[in-house]
Structure formats: structure tokens, C-alpha cells
Amino acid sequence: MLHTVNKSPMERNTLERCLQYAKKGSAILLIEDGVYGALKGTTVTDKVRKAMKDVTIYALYPDIEARGMQDRAIDGIKLVDYGGFVDLVAEHRNVQSWL
Amino acid sequence: MKFGIMVNEGPYTHEASDTAYLFAKAALEKGHQIHRVFFYHDGVNNATRLTEPPQDDRNIVARWSKLAAENQVDLVVCVAAALRRGIRDENLAEGFRISGLGQLIESGIQADRLVVFGD
Amino acid sequence: MSETTGGVEMQEDVSGVVKKFLYVNRKAPYGTIYALESLEVVLIAAAFDQDVSLVFLDDGVYQLVKGQHTKTIDVKNFSPTYRALEGYDIEKLYVEKESLAARGLTPEDLIVPVTLLSAAEMSDLMDGQDIVLSF
């Protein structure tokens, strides 16, 4: 299953809930303000790093770049463009958008 | 693959409509099919022909219309949500049509994937 | 336009296909319109003979509490509609235990009978769906 998160984890609980729900082997794509969850040195970085042992975390690079965060992504987070977003949706049976 | 898309926010205030559009465009470029884009909640505001963004900004409504014209994408606006918010046939932009919520369910049934973009 | 199907003529290629649809409700009622308009989708969905489940988690559980009186805010109280869902053959209503407990609520506080699931069970349920519509 693919999960998408579009809110900053400092503002809403969607990333936290998503991390609880995402099963081993599933994928999480951070988009829009959700990309703030992909960064080093924040209050959620450790939680995200820990989750990366069981799930693959992706972030939409155009949203990272737009926000000036291009040098701050946690190592191991996979950066994708909109084509990569499409591939992720196609590769997974279903998608849950954590709005 | 056949994708259904649901857009739940209006243009400009939220990024949801931009992301949905860029996703749809990328999917088409990869040779996928967009079965339908369904506009719900404030998403119906994507369909008004009355918007006039500043010259140096993207024209979100016109962008949807162009996508529909060039790729035969079915842009459907929920009738109940539209009437609540003053979107009617008279102010509907090119390529959009107003119909019922059943179109969303039908898209879920017919498409291989349905992706929701919202707040 | 047919009122029961929201304007869709039942087509050959739609009839016979049964997919698992999950409606994810995570938002409280009245502060925003999502809860009400999500319920409107569910009512239309009933006409399509699909396998429909509704889940309520986070502030979405507030949609189901008893005793909603909306007259003074001049908004329609749509909570009785949840009780009518059974008549539309929508009987799979799931509430996440942790969300309910976090809000000091119990199943007795809710307007309809629901099935309580833990977050882990809810995650399994979500994983097995074909279409997940979140509001």
C-alpha cells in the first residue's frame, strides 16, 4: 500500500498516524507541506529514521526544492518527481491520502 | 494503467489542485490514461471560468481545460457541491461538466487506481 | 438525472464489478464541511452495490457522538443520518479504539452501534481495500 502525507508533522498528526498504520514493506510519499517530515534536525527526524527500517519513505523533490529544503533531506529518503509519484501509485494496489 | 483522480480543494489557496494537475500530466506523459478527474468539496471552484489570476501566475482553471482538450480527460464537477458554491453551467470553464456523485464511485470502479488530493 | 445514482446510468461494464471501498473519516463535524459531504458520497455509493466500509479515526469519531444540537449555529444536524445507513445496507462502521479513548469517549457515547478496532486491526482493514477515499 502507498500512503501519502501532505502536512507538516510539526502542525498535524498525519505523519505520526501514517507511520503507525503503514505496514512493513509499504511506501510513504511525502508531498506538499508533508515534505517537512523528510528533513534532518527536526523533532520528528528520529521517528522517521526509525520507521525507515520497515517502510520506504519517498519525498516529492519539486516540493522540497520549492521550500528551499534541498540540502536537508534525511539520507535514505528517496526523492522523486511527479513521474515517480505516478510510478508509486501504479506499483501499489491502493493509496491512502492522509489529509 | 487507468487512473481516477479526486480533487477536494479549490485553486490557489491549497496546493492540492496543483499537485493533482502535475500528477495527471505526468501520468499522461508516461502513457497512462486519466479516466476522470472528479472535483468535490471546494474543489468545484477549479471549474469556474470567472477566475483572473495575475499575468505572472499560473492559470489553474485554463490549465485543466487545456489538459482536457488535448487528452480527452473527463473533468466532472459534483452537482451538489457546485450548487452550494455558485458553480453552474453558465460559469463553467471549457472541458468541465457538472454531474452527480455517482461519477466518483463509477470512476473508482472503472479505474485501476483512484488518488485523492485534498487538504 | 437519476437521484438514486447521482446521475450515473448504470453501464454494462460497471454492473457486476464489486470492489472494496473504504471511506476514511478523520475530521470533526461542523468546523469544516468534509464530514457532511463525505456522508453524501456514502449515501450515493450505496446504490452501486459495492463492498462499503466506513472507518472513523482521530477527530472523525466526533462525527458519531450523541447529543448534537446545531440549531444555534444554524447548520443542519446530520448525525441522525448515520443511524439511517443500515437502511442503505451500509453496515460496516468501524471506530478506532485508540482515537475514542484519547477523547475520553466510549461506544455508549455514539449515536450508532459500531465495531471497535485497534489501530493495528484498522491498518489491516485499510490494506485490504481496492479504493480508499479519505476526507
Give the Cβ contact number of residue C112 at 10 Å: 18
pLDDT band of C2, cuts 50, 70, 90: very low
Domain ranges of chain B: 2-117
Q: Where are the alpha helices (DSSP H) in B7-114?
A: 16-29, 60-71, 79-84, 102-110
Structure confidence by residue, pLDDT tens digits, B51-91? 999 999 999 999 999 999 999 999 999 999 999 999 999 99
Q: What is the pLDDT of residues C49-77, one digit of tens each?
A: 999 999 999 999 999 999 999 999 999 99
Q: How far is B54 from chain A (nearest CA, A)?
A: 20
Q: What pLDDT does residue C16 have?
A: 84
Please answer yes or no on whether C44 and B102 come within 8 Å at the CB atom: yes
CATH number of C20-134: 3.40.1260.10
Question: pLDDT digits over B23-35, tens only?
Answer: 999 999 999 999 9
Least confident of B44-48, B97-101, C8-12, C117-121: C8-12
pLDDT on residue C12: 43
Q: For C26-52, write each residue's pLDDT tens digit.
A: 999 999 999 999 999 999 999 999 999
What tens digit of pLDDT does each residue of A16-69 get? 999 999 999 999 999 999 999 999 999 999 999 999 999 999 999 999 999 999
Kindly indicate the confidence band of residue C13, based on its pLDDT and cuts at 50, 70 and 90: low
> Considering only the top CATH level, what class is B2-117?
alpha beta
pLDDT, average across residues C88-105: 97
What 3 state SS string does chain A have? CEEEECCCCCCCCHHHHHHHHCCCCCEEEECHHHHHHHECCCCCHHHHHHHCCCCEEEEEHHHHHHCCCCCCECCCCEEECHHHHHHHHHHCCCEEEEC
pLDDT beyond 50 at B11: yes
Question: CA nearest A88: which of A66, A58, A65?
Answer: A58
**3-state secondary structure (DSSP) of residue C91:** coil
On whether the A2-98 domain is CATH 1.10.3720.10, my answer is no
Q: What is the pLDDT of residues C114-133, one digit of tens each?
A: 999 999 999 999 999 999 99
Which sequence spans correspond to the domains of chain C? 20-134
Provide residues of C within 8 Å CB-CB of chain A.
Answer: 24, 26, 57-58, 119, 122-124, 126-127, 129-132, 134-135
* Neighbouring C-beta atoms of residue A30, cutoff 10 Å: 29
Mean of the pLDDT values across residues B12-29? 98
Q: What is residue C3's predicted lDDT score, i.e. its pLDDT?
A: 42
| Interface subset of B 54-93, CB within 8 angstroms of C | 79-81
How far is residue C91 from each of residues A64, B53, B98, C21, C111, measured CA to CA in Å?
A: 42, 46, 30, 13, 14
Q: Please report the ipTM that was assigned to this predicted complex.
A: 0.97
In whole angstroms, what is the distance from residue C57 CA to residue C52 CA? 17
Mutation target vs B (from A8, A86, A99; most B CBs, 10 A cutoff): A86
